[in-house]
Amino acid sequence: MHRAPHVHVAVSQNGRRVFTSQFLVKGDPANTGDTVVRNLDPKALQTILVDFTALPGSKLGELSASVDIVLGRTFNELQPSSKRGPTSSR
C-alpha cells in the first residue's frame, strides 16, 4: 500500500472519539499514487488537502500548516441523496 505524506488527526470529547481524519500535503506529487486518495470522491479529497509551507529557520526541512476543524455534518451527509426514505401511510 502506497501512502503519500499525510497527518492523522483525531478529536475526542469526554473520552469519546467524535472526529477522525487525515490531511494530505496539497500539491504533493505522491498524492496521485496514494491508494486511499484514489478511492475518494474528488470533492471529498478537496476537504483534506492542506497547504503546507516550509517552517522558517528549520534546519531539518519541517513543514507547517494551519487547519480549522469545524465539527458538524460529514461530507456524505451534505451530499444530495437519490434515495428516499420510507413513507408512512397513516
- Predicted confidence (pLDDT) per residue in 18-68, tens digit: 999 999 999 999 999 999 999 999 988 999 999 999 999 999 999 999 998
Show the CA angle centred on residue 21, arms to residues 69 and 27, nearest 5°: 85
Q: What is the pLDDT of residue 69?
A: 86
Q: Supply the pLDDT for residue 63.
A: 92
Three-state secondary-structure class, residue 69:
coil
21: enclosing H helix or E strand? strand 16-25
72-85, pLDDT tens digit by residue? 877 778 778 755 44
Please give the grid coordinates belonging to residue 15.
473520552
